[in-house]
Chain A
Amino acid sequence: MLRFFASRLLQSLLALIIIITATFFMLRFVPGGPFTTEKAVTPEILRNLEAHYGLDQPLWKQYLDYLGSLARGDFGPSFKYPNRTVNEILADKLPVSLELGVLSLLVALLIGLPLGILAAVRRNTWVDYVASSFGMVGISIPTFVVGPLLVLALAIHLGWFNASGWYSPIARMLPCLVLGIAYAAPISRLTRGGMLEVLSQDFIRTARAKGASELRVVMRHSLKGGLLPVVSFLGPAIAGILTGSFVIETIFQIPGIGREFVNSAFNRDYTLVLGTVILYAVLIMALNLAADVVQAWMNPKVRLEA
């Protein structure tokens, strides 16, 4: 188990270094820079600006300097917001996106798991058909269609929710619901599949033969095995929710990190782009790692192999 964890950690670190290096050099080789604007800047000012941000240094030195400050937890100054550091901007926007992500994941699990379990237990009844159709519909209709449609129906026509914004509990409900439903669908499908697989096994028949109630069979005997596919999906799901928030933040005009990222890329704000990419990478990899560990802990086959 420890070796498994260590090897996955090492792998993540390697991936992180690849990401930082690739992004750093990609940013420097693209046409345009942070100071190319419509207004022509005189060459002297440009030189001063570049000197101020260290852009006149050789590339390898810039890279090493960046790594050095990164090791101290410093993402550097933003190129587009002159008086702010990347750390400040990220600290400002991250909580919003994080909250959106966590709430959405909760919504996804609260809808997806019960639906999947019900569908498996009541296999081939109308309950199953309704739940399975929901799964298919949810997978096929993307958030950027569901989102605007729900805004149109529930917010604009019925006035139940806010069409945009973030700073009130009501305003948060619709975005979290939209993003959550998108992941409730695959979760319900995986739960159904996993539960069906477990429920058809011999030890379940034994439990039933010994007179265990249906509730006990499901909760005590099947759940742990049946939810394995869901746990292994959680890593990708979290990554998806994090990047999915780009769209949700755009639709609902939420001041989160996703919108900031797209803007910073357009602005060639090198340090802000790098900082956001690194933050996303660390988040996604940490959560992936956590999902892997939980999965290994739940599944003796993986646990013993490693």
Chain B
Amino acid sequence: MSASVTSPVASPAAAPEEGSSLWHDAWLRLRKNRLAVFGAATLIIVALACFVGPFFSPYGYEEQNLDLGAAGPSAAHWLGTDTLGRDLLVRLLYGGRVSLGVGLAATFVALTIGVVYGAIAGYSGGKRDAVMMRVVDIMYSLPFTIFVILLMVFFGRNIILLFVAIGAVEWLTMARIVRGQVMAVKRMEFIEAARSLGFGRRRIIFRHILPNILGPIIVYTTLTIPGVMLLEAFLSFLGLGVQPPMSSWGVLIKDGAEKMEEFPWLLIFPGTVFSLTLFSLNFLGDGLRDALDVRASKD
């Protein structure tokens, strides 16, 4: 590796300092963690396959072959076909686009809300902080999964609503973590210095504090994605998530589970790919936590 920092986690704020910056050290530690590297490699392969793979497939994703019906893996259909004779591999890759897309989009929603909310609460302190965190506490005790289910049943199960709903559930923990970190950083001297230079609150939070707590944010974001994907698949499994003709890994697993007695591959392949992806995300998240030496979250 060259001397320049090419870490995927390098932020613009930390990049200028070359050589032994915090991010560089973290990258070196991460590279040594075999499971994390395995996770990252798997994720890259899965993501590439999902987004590029379908272009190279001779089969369309809705293309039926009713004469063939459900057939096991073969040279023509590597992972077999479903009961309508559709190629499972292509459906798996298309489903992956939806699952990964929902995972990323909903995590982004959670990340944005959580960081802004947590940062404001933590930086303000005092009464405003108390009220804001009490709201988080109360929301924590609401049975949110149930609300998401109700929302999906009532409002037509559309995909935009799906990730907004999931994102709205998942931001709470992020807000708590960010708040704790902000409270620790805001007492440091360079924040005092920034304040005495007359910078506004918004500038201090976004330019001075947030770059310094990127580590925990990145780690927790990585660990939120599998949780979000799990929730999407959970809803799809109950028939409430992604609707046909679109599909996602959760939908494929649901279909597979219904037909597993005669056609077990319809369950085994989607289940394996989905689990492997969650596995990789968890390993990568754990590796990042060790590499960045984050000890904030306990789970």
For residue A283, which residue of chain B has the nearest CB? B143
For window 277-306 of A, CB contacts with B under 8 Å fall at: 277, 280-281, 284-285, 288
Residue A110 is within 8 A (CB to CB) of chain B in the complex:
no
Q: In the complex, what residues of B have CB within 8 A of residue A31's CB?
A: 154
Q: Say whether A51 faces chain B, with CB atoms less than 8 Å apart.
A: no
A265 B150 Cβ-Cβ under 8 A: yes
Report the minimal beta-carbon distance from B37 to chain A, rounded to whole angstroms: 15
A23 within 8 A of B: yes
B226 to chain A: closest residue by CB: A140
Q: Tell me which residues across on chain B come within 8 A of A149, comparing CB atoms.
A: 267-268, 271
Q: Which residues of B contact A243 (CB under 8 A)?
A: 143, 145-146
List residues of chain A with CB within 8 A of the CB of B142.
15, 18-19, 281
Known: A136-B279, A190-B299, A233-B299. A262 touches B138 (CB 8 A): no
**Complex contacts, B234 vs chain A, CB 8 Å:** 142, 144, 247
Q: Is A121 an interface residue (CB 8 A)?
A: no
Contacts of B28 in A (CB 8 A): none
In whole Å, how far is A19's beta carbon from the nearest beta carbon of chain B? 6
Residue numbers in B under 8 Å from A139 (CB-CB): 278, 282
Determine the distance from Cα of A23 to Cα of B149 in the docked complex, in whole angstroms.
Answer: 12
Is A14's CB under 8 angstroms from B274's CB? no
- Name A228-262 residues within 8 Å CB distance of B: 229, 232-233, 239, 242-243, 246-247, 250-251, 261-262
For the complex, give the distance between the alpha carbons of A247 and B145 in Å.
12
- When A139-B282, A145-B253, A247-B237 are in contact, do A284 and B143 touch as well, CB less than 8 Å? yes
Assess whether B191 is interfacial by the CB under 8 Å rule: no
Interface assignment of B165: CB less than 8 Å from any CB of chain A: no
B47 within 8 A of A: no
A30 touches B138 (CB 8 A): no
Give the CA-CA distance A136 to B257 in the complex, in Å: 23
Whether the Cβ atoms of A11 and B137 lie closer than 8 Å is yes
Does B230 belong to the interface (CB within 8 Å)? yes
Q: A262, B238: Cβ atoms under 8 Å?
A: yes
Q: Determine whether the beta carbon of B282 is less than 8 Å from that of A136.
A: yes
Interface residue B34 (Cβ < 8 Å from any Cβ of A): no
Contacts of B145 in A (CB 8 A): 243
Proximity string of chain B (260-299) to chain A, C-beta cutoff 8 Å, 1 when within and 0 when not: 1100100110010011001100110000000000000011
Q: B32 to nearest A CB, angstroms?
A: 16
In the complex, what distance in Å separates the CA atom of A261 from the CA atom of B282?
A: 31
Q: Chain A nearest CB: distance from B267 CB in Å?
A: 6
Q: Which of A11, A147, A247, A261 contacts B141 (CB 8 A)?
A: A11
Whether, in the assembled complex, B233 has its beta carbon less than 8 Å from a beta carbon of chain A, the answer is yes
Contacts of A167 in B (CB 8 A): none
CA distance A23 to B282 in the complex (A): 34
**Whole-angstrom CA separation of A31 from B137 in the bound complex:** 32
A14 and B278 within 8 A (CB):
no
Contacts of B261 in A (CB 8 A): 152, 156
Chain B residues within 8 Å of A239, by CB:
143
C-alpha spacing A97/B275, complex, angstroms:
27
Q: Is there an interface contact between B153 and A141, defined as CB atoms closer than 8 Å?
A: no
Task: Report the Cα distance A37→B62, complex, angstroms.
Answer: 31
Contact of A285 among B141, B155, B264 (CB under 8 A): B141
**Contact (Cβ within 8 A) A142 B230:** yes
Contact status B138-A145, CB under 8 Å: no
A233: B residues at CB distance < 8 A:
299
Cα separation A26 to B146 with both chains bound (whole Å): 13
Name the one of B138, B154, B238, B275 contacting A141, with C-beta atoms under 8 angstroms.
B275
- Give the CA-CA distance A266 to B239 in the complex, in Å: 11
Q: Are B282 and A140 in touch, CB under 8 angstroms?
A: yes
In the bound complex, residues from chain B placing their C-beta under 8 Å from that of A147 are: 257
Which of B150, B226, B264 meets A26, CB within 8 Å? B150
Q: Any chain B CB within 8 A of the CB of A12?
A: yes
Query: Is B134 in the interface zone, CB < 8 Å from A?
Result: yes
**Which B residues touch A266, using CB under 8 A?**
153
- B278–A142 CB distance below 8 A: yes
Evaluate contact between A152 and B138: CB separation under 8 angstroms: no
B138 touches A14 (CB 8 A): yes
Chain A positions 10 through 28: 1 when the CB is less than 8 Å from some CB of chain B, otherwise 0: 0110110011001100110
Kindly report which residue of chain A lies nearest to residue B227, judged by CB atoms.
Answer: A139
A137 at interface, CB cutoff 8 A: yes
Residues of B within 8 A of A281 (CB): 142-143, 146
Q: Would you call A275 an interface residue if the criterion is a C-beta within 8 Å of the partner chain's C-beta atoms?
A: no
Q: Using Cβ atoms and an 8 Å threshold, which residues of chain B touch A229?
A: 298
Give the top 7 A-B pairs by smallest Cβ distance, nearest first.
A30-B154, A148-B257, A145-B271, A140-B279, A265-B153, A140-B278, A243-B145
Given contacts A11-B134, A229-B298, 13 further A-B contacts (CB under 8 A): A15-B138, A23-B147, A27-B154, A137-B279, A141-B278, A142-B275, A144-B237, A149-B267, A247-B234, A250-B238, A261-B149, A265-B150, A285-B141
B residues within 8 Å of A by Cβ?
A: 134, 137-138, 141-143, 145-147, 149-150, 153-155, 226, 230, 233-234, 237-238, 240, 250, 253-254, 256-257, 260-261, 264, 267-268, 271, 274-275, 278-279, 282-283, 298-299
Q: Show 18 A/B contacts (Cβ-Cβ < 8 Å), sorted by A.
A: A11-B137, A19-B143, A26-B150, A30-B155, A32-B154, A137-B279, A139-B282, A141-B275, A144-B254, A152-B260, A152-B267, A190-B299, A229-B298, A243-B145, A246-B149, A265-B149, A280-B143, A281-B143
